[in-house]
A and B are shown apart, each in its own frame.
Chain A
Amino acid sequence: MNDARRLVSVLAALAVVLLALGVAALFVGSAGLSPAAVARALAGRAEASSVEAIVTLSLRLPRVAVAVLAGGALAVAGVGFQALTRNPLAEPSVLGVSSGAAFGVVLAQILGLQAGVVAALGVAVFAFAGALLAASVVYLVATAPGGLAVQTLLLAGVIVGIFFSAAITVIISLVDFNRLSGVIHWLLGNLAPIPAASLALFAALAAGGMWLILTRARELNLLALGEEAASQLGVDAERLKRQVFIAAALLTGTVVAFTGPIGFVGLIVPHVLRGLVGHDNRLLVPTSALAGGAFLLAADTLARNVVAPAELSVGVITAFCGAPFFVWVLRTRSRPA
């Protein structure tokens, strides 16, 4: 049908952008490799122990993969939360869900989960639990008789975020600093290359969450009619809400576990895409998965080159973009139609 064709063409265009950004990201960086050296490493004609092979294949390539996965997962989580709350500002970091997940990760780290794929799974489980806890609290606080109040939801998210940030600070203060050496850096939201096994785990969890939301996209559209009207159309609204809620928390928790809390991707990407493909979640979810990846990849490439040889945290870049964006959406939305 018409929508399907539109989806395919937008996805194809986004895939081209993503591919171009991915290639560009492989060729730039503080190591100062020549394009020819990078190409040699990519073609497998460089020695495994050579600088170009290590930098390109073990540092840049996995980092590109992490950026694409994390960006896509965060953007889809944003679409999920926005459809559930019928609020375009709802997003993992704004709702405090990222902070809950971060608390889970810090907890997992002081329990000794550090390296290896099993530990990574453990950290992801803790992050998921933290995300679920934070999202549930926000949801319960904001649910008034008669539905979710828009402003209350955002305030509840901010409060829950502050609470979990404080809880993280308590843990950091109590624990031997050396055991948490990387935590401060991680808390700013950083993309670091991760081992292949962990990367596969990351990909599997992210794909699972995105698939769940994608397959519920049509029902999520109907939710815009209100829960009662949706159920009168045959949607099991309670089950739908529960599933999407869990999937969005899973995506948030997974990203936080593998990269740290990176804010605003789930706000910026779906909002820009709505201008392009409209509000239909069936178009929004798959395009957000690709566009989110492209956005975070671009932000990360900027982050590791703009102050080279030092590096900015990618969370700083997304926050610098996201904060003014949030204000803009808030202002245009609250204006009477």
Chain B
Amino acid sequence: MSALIEFRDVVFAYARPAERRARAFAFPGLSFAIERGEIFGVIGPNSAGKTSLLRLLTRVVRPQRGEIRLDGRPLEALPPWELARAIAVVPQDAPRPFPFTVAQLVLMGRYPHAPRRFFEDAADVAAARAAMLATETLPLGALPLDQLSGGERQRALLARALAQEPRLLVLETAALLRRLNRESGMTILLVSHDLNLAAELCDRLLLLRAGEIARAGAPIDVLEQGLLEDVFGCRVIVDKSASGRPVVQLAYDRG
């Protein structure tokens, strides 16, 4: 059986790098796979390619060469709504002002399941309700998103992604991640700056450096002192947490 997600020698660069970042960024040839049911973490310093990886995966941008496969099928072959039924992204935030209520937001996640339907049907409402129940946002349903606290807002955005009933959930924050994985067996892709959070939660990590894989594997193999110092350009200490996972600290010179 093929992996859920597979990157095969993906080559990508932005057409106009100046618009993105000062430094030209590119993936010279990226290969990795995400297996079903795992929590897969992508980590790395700024402009290592974390966001670009995510945009490639959701086909916001397309690779110049190479191929991305979902369940063994090339991403290019899928209609947009089919891709959206498979992969849901929890954004870091919604635009402000955002005029809709929490319930309206969550129902937007049902669009890819019936793009031609004008109003959502009872099954859509039931799926949205389940997503709101799982994220404890059901009591907030009638409130405008803009009236929520930061944490409530995050949970509402998560509920919208869950309402998509995806096979892969892409997160940039860790709220409820472990529980979702354990209870639903959902495959999760966590994109994070926070090395320790990723180490604690993920089954496998992918460490990026300027578009290339610095290392991939179990957290204990990836979060290695020499490698991290090299990639992030600062001195670190790697320790172990109570659960046996690696913990990374910045090393300060005490002179």
Contact = CB atoms under 8 A, between A and B. Distances in A.
Contacts of A4: 119
A175 interface: no
A23 interface: no
B250 interface: no
B19 A145 contact: yes
Contacts of A3: 119-120
Contact of A1 (B58, B94, B111, B122): B122
Interface string B200-216: 00000000000000000
B97 A337 contact: yes
A234 B111 contact: yes
B95 A233 contact: no
Interface in A222-243: 222, 224-226, 228-229, 231-236
Contacts of A219: 111, 115
Contacts, number: 81
Given A217-B118, A280-B104, A282-B119, A231 B89 contact: no
Interface residues of A, number: 28
B46 to A, nearest CB: 18
A226 B79 CA distance: 20
Nearest to B20: A145
B118 A233 contact: no
B98 A224 contact: yes
Contacts of A231: 58-60, 80
A1 B119 contact: yes
Contacts of B119: 1, 3-4, 282
A44 B176 CA distance: 72
A278 B81 CA distance: 26
B29 interface: no
A280 B118 contact: no
Contacts of A274: 99
A86 B100 contact: no
A263 B117 CA distance: 34
A282 B164 CA distance: 20
Contacts of A226: 91, 94-95
A165 interface: no
Contacts of A221: 100, 104, 108
A233 B111 CA distance: 7
B86 to A, nearest CB: 10
B97 A233 contact: no
A234 B108 CA distance: 11
B60 A232 contact: yes
Contacts of A185: none
A179 interface: no
Interface extent on B, as a size class? Answer: 35 or more
Nearest to A222: B108
Contact of B58 (A215, A232, A236, A282): A232
B89 A222 contact: no
Contact of A229 (B81, B89, B120): B89
Nearest to A283: B119
Contact of B112 (A217, A234, A279): A234
B131 to A, nearest CB: 14
Contacts of A278: 101, 104
A232 B120 contact: no
B122 A233 contact: no
Given A217-B118, A232-B58, A232-B60, A279 B99 contact: yes
A228 B112 contact: no
B130 interface: no
A224 B95 contact: yes
B146 A337 contact: yes
A3 B121 CA distance: 10
Nearest to B95: A226
A332 to B, nearest CB: 12
Contacts of B140: none
B195 interface: no
Interface string B68-93: 00000000000111111101110100
Of residues A3, A4, A145, A232, which shows the largest number of chain B Cβ atoms within 10 Å of its Cβ?
Answer: A232
21 contacts: A1-B120, A1-B122, A145-B19, A218-B117, A221-B104, A224-B95, A224-B98, A224-B99, A226-B91, A229-B89, A229-B94, A231-B60, A232-B84, A232-B89, A233-B108, A233-B164, A234-B81, A234-B82, A234-B85, A234-B112, A234-B115
10 nearest A-B residue pairs (beta carbon): A234-B81, A234-B84, A279-B99, A234-B112, A234-B80, A232-B58, A233-B84, A4-B119, A232-B89, A1-B119
Interface of B: 19, 55, 58-60, 79-85, 87-89, 91, 94-95, 97-101, 104, 108-109, 111-112, 115, 117-122, 125, 146, 164
Given A221-B100, A222-B111, A234-B84, 5 more contacts: A1-B119, A221-B104, A225-B98, A228-B60, A232-B84
